[in-house]
A and B are shown apart, each in its own frame.
Chain A
Amino acid sequence: MKDPITPEVFAHLVDLAALELEPTQAEYLRLQLNHQLKAIQELESIPLESNVEISAHGVPYTAEISPAPREDIWKPYPEPADIIKQAPATDEGYIVVPEIPHITLK
């Protein structure tokens, strides 16, 4: 069977995933993805009757066990400087990033 994830498809995925890969790693990952897809193909052989619904969770979240939404109360974090200082680059409390390019949507 031809590998469904060709180098071209793979390159598109890498771009969507906001990654950059060295050629050796790219080839290893593409090979592994195609191996995984072979395992996933088994799903296609499973007979699914039309009444099979999707399950977002295994455990059904009934009204009895679902907690009520908590009150929407703003609670300021006591030491915001501790959070800001986690950012790799800051300037007077602002997070610094490089140029954000302007893109015209089609």
Chain B
Amino acid sequence: MTMNPCDQSAVELSKLLRRKEISAVEILESALERIDQVDGRPGTLNPGAITDADKQKVHSFITLTAERARAQAKEVDRKLKAGEDPGALAGIPLTVKDIFVLKGTPSTAASKILANFISPYTATPVSRLEAAGAVTLGKVNLDEFTYGSSNESSAFQPSPRNPWDTHTVPGGSSGGSAASVAAGEAVLSLGTDTAGSIRQPAAFCGVVGVKPTYGRVSRYGLIAFASSLDCPGPVARSVEDAALMLKVMAGADPSDDTAANIPVPDYLAELEKGVKGLRIGLSPDYFRITYPDPTSGELLMQAISPEIEASVRRAASLLKEMGAEIIEDVPMPNTRYGIPAYFVISRVEAASNLHRYDGVKYGFRTPEPTHELRDLYKKTRAQGFGPQPKLRILMGMYVSAAQYSEQYYNRALKVRTLIRRDFDTVFDKNGAYRLDALLTPTTPTTAFEMGAVYGDSVLMQYADQLTVPANHAGIPGLSLPAGLDSKRLPIGIQLLGADFSESVLFRIGRAFEQATETDAWRKEKPGVLAS
């Protein structure tokens, strides 16, 4: 398959567009053609049997808005012809995780309970991206309400598959985002990260994913999961594109009081400054995972995949050659408590957020007769929610009950303090470590097979063990591809930094890309693109 416009970077496409060597409509048609080639049928509530043909496709989309996108692309071309500034992302094909609302389009959260909801307004990150000229192709699939790490829990089936090997999961919950970018259906995607939901699928699909600092990007118009943890962020194929996208959508927002009032740096201007003098840490606590035995519940400790550890260590070695100082044996002792604390905090917040879905104001209402209001609530929620939202509601109610809240909820909030202290200690400019970043694996394994973990809600959650500490601490994280394993599946490495240090993470990521640009794996294409 030759290099189509949809396979090029946003930065390169912007140059071509401004030199009038390509039009926004041509870029769009290239993306739509790719979608037609690789995506298969979109996710629906009543899919029937999943066929062998379905199993060869990516299924990123729930809603494709091709005509809306054509109108946007034509407007970009009109502005260019008229000599007007079309914006920093003019003509760049974008997919949006269907957890953001977009006026006039279905905004489903991949749940039956919102399947018929047409949003009356647009989320701030989406409106900023579109105001900068991005062309929205449509809404992409996710785990229902973002609750999962594989996309298999979506009520809209077939769920997305990994473009590198469609028998494996794309990760989640931003699986449609990562899969669409990896397959060249889009150049950029907007995702969200609550425990690793951008970084984990980015790692599984071999693309770049950024969880910005909590408060860096407005959450207005993001259908809430865990309000103290949710972060919108970019998915892209290069660090440079991710930096460009974050610059456009970050910043204070009068509609979201948690959007921090801090100027947004010019990430691209900082990008090429290299890593000389930067202190980058490696922690043994990120080279092993703790997880409960599925049968006995006993906690087991296990080293991460040797191939993934080797990729991290190689990255450290390359960055050292480029002038970074590598600090070994950085203690992050509370990393292992990230998932247990997350089980409590996220469930309490999810249960609270999900109480608004009742079949009264919008969304699904049970078609069965109901004799009183509470009966309507119960039947609607029973039929509208899938098992994962139900689990989160029930657990959230249990651990926040008056008699248990000290034992569980308050204790989890204190453990969050301990996790935050780990990061404060190692990023302290006057401390013993004085790190600019931690370099870790993004995930303990590469993409797992469809069906291998789904159904075991505990094991599935532990896929986020190396990403969730950043959500508890609020700090930024960047996952970027670092090679392929022996099964030809992408390996992701992660950079974590202090609050609002995204520019430093982008610099390190960019340096790593330059150090590996001639690696053989960079020429490999996802399986769905093999001709």
Contacts and interface: CB of A to CB of B under 8 A. Distances in A.
B360 A95 contact: yes
Nearest to B376: A98
B472 interface: yes
A48 B374 CA distance: 41
A58 B408 contact: no
B420 A13 contact: no
A2 B514 CA distance: 56
A105 interface: no
Nearest to B414: A52
Interface in A1-33: 5, 9-10, 13-14, 16-21, 25, 28-29, 32-33
A3 to B, nearest CB: 11
Interface in A24-70: 25, 28-29, 32-33, 35-44, 46, 48, 52-59, 61, 64-70
Given A40-B343, A43-B408, A19 B390 contact: yes
A74 B337 CA distance: 44
Contact of B260 (A53, A55, A59, A97): A59
Contacts of B302: none
A76 interface: no
A40 B372 CA distance: 37
B261 A66 contact: yes
Contact of A86 (B120, B341, B475): B120
A39 B300 CA distance: 11
A58 B416 contact: yes
Contacts of B297: 35, 38-39
Nearest to B344: A40
Contact of B371 (A29, A53, A88, A99): A99
Given A19-B381, A29-B391, A44-B407, A98 B375 contact: yes
Contacts, number: 199
B413 A54 contact: yes
Contacts of B458: 32, 35-36, 38-39
Nearest to B457: A32
A17 B394 contact: yes
B361 A95 contact: yes
B343 A39 contact: yes
Nearest to A101: B372
Interface in B350-403: 351, 355, 358-365, 370-379, 381-382, 385, 387, 390-391, 393-395, 397-399
B529 interface: no
B431 interface: no
Interface in B281-315: 292, 297, 299
Contacts of B68: none
Interface stretch (B24-32, B47-55, B73-81, B251-259): B251-259
B361 A43 contact: no
Contacts of A61: 215, 258, 260
B292 A40 contact: no
A97 B343 contact: no
A9 B408 CA distance: 17
Interface residues on B, range: 35 or more
Given A40-B340, A98-B375, A20 B382 contact: yes
Contacts of A44: 407, 411
B9 interface: no
B341 A43 contact: yes
Interface in B451-482: 456-458, 461, 471-475
A86 B362 contact: yes
A59 B343 CA distance: 20
B262 interface: yes
Contacts of A40: 340, 343-344, 399, 408
A48 to B, nearest CB: 5
A50 to B, nearest CB: 10
Nearest to B117: A86
Given A18-B378, A86-B361, A97-B376, A46 B417 contact: no
Contacts of A91: none
A26 B395 CA distance: 13
B205 interface: no
Contacts of A43: 337, 340-341, 344, 408, 411-412, 415
Residue among A16, A55, A56, A77 with max Cβ neighbours from chain B (10 Å): A55
B35 interface: no
B127 interface: no
11 contacts: A18-B381, A19-B382, A32-B456, A36-B391, A36-B461, A39-B343, A43-B340, A46-B411, A59-B475, A99-B371, A101-B374
Interface of B: 117-118, 120, 213-215, 228, 252, 254, 257-262, 292, 297, 299, 334, 336-337, 339-341, 343-344, 351, 355, 358-365, 370-379, 381-382, 385, 387, 390-391, 393-395, 397-399, 407-408, 410-420, 456-458, 461, 471-475, 499
- Pick the 5 closest A-B CB pairs, nearest first: A58-B474, A59-B474, A88-B365, A54-B413, A86-B362
